Amino acid sequence: MNYPAGPSQEYLRNTVMTATPEQLQLMLYDGAIRFAARGGDEIAAGNREGAFVALDRAQRIVLELSNGLRRDANPQLAGQMAALYSFIYRRLVEASLHQDPAAVQEALRILRHQRETWVLLMDKLRQEQARSAAPSSSPAASRPTASAASRFAPGTESMALSTEG
């Protein structure tokens, strides 16, 4: 059954539908961090059910990050990223099973580092695009350059994000 979307759901839907693959990747990192942090807070409060729900959401997002890797673009890098996402996922599962705040913090540390790295990559991409858009007399400068971020961005267009939780 389809329920009418509220204004915040409609805004989120429009944001996701108009986002670039790079922005979608950033949204996934933000969601994983938000839900993992909420799970850690729920563990600290002694709320097992709340911790499970929040950490489950974070786990699902990490799986989406892993499933969206473009292995054809750079198999070695994709393999390393898949191993990292697998480690984060396992730590989130362990945190949920054992109500372990240290496991949540370890997963959060890595997710935050990955997010920061992704933002730096997006900034570098914007700078490259700005340079290539600037008029130049050099034929090499006028050639389009491959988007570094899009080579590794997951196919997250079908990922349904939600503000619930």
pLDDT digits (tens, 9 = 90+) for 50-106: 999 999 999 999 999 999 999 999 999 999 999 999 999 999 999 999 999 999 999
Distance from C-alpha of 14 to C-alpha of 161, rounded to nearest angstrom = 11
| Closest among 97, 102, 71 to 85, alpha carbons compared | 71
Residue 47, in any domain of the structure: yes
Count of domains for the chain:
1
Which token pair is 41? Answer: 């807070």
Q: What is the pLDDT of residues 98-154, one digit of tens each?
A: 999 999 999 999 999 999 999 999 999 999 988 988 765 555 544 444 444 444 444
- pLDDT for residue 3: 54
| Closest among 90, 87, 65 to 152, alpha carbons compared | 65
Residue 114, in any domain of the structure: yes
- pLDDT for residue 5: 66
Is the C-alpha dihedral spanning 85, 59, 163, 68 positive or negative?
positive
Residue 126, in any domain of the structure: yes
Distance from C-alpha of 69 to C-alpha of 71, rounded to nearest angstrom = 6
Residue 11, in any domain of the structure: no
Whole-prediction pTM: 0.76
Distance from C-alpha of 77 to C-alpha of 88, rounded to nearest angstrom = 17
- pLDDT for residue 145: 43
Q: Any idea what DSSP says for residue 5?
A: P
CATH number at residue 92: 1.20.120.340
- pLDDT for residue 164: 44
Which token pair is 138? Answer: 């050099």
- pLDDT for residue 70: 93
Residue 159, in any domain of the structure: no
Which token pair is 6? Answer: 């509220």
Domain ranges, residue 95: 20-133+142-152
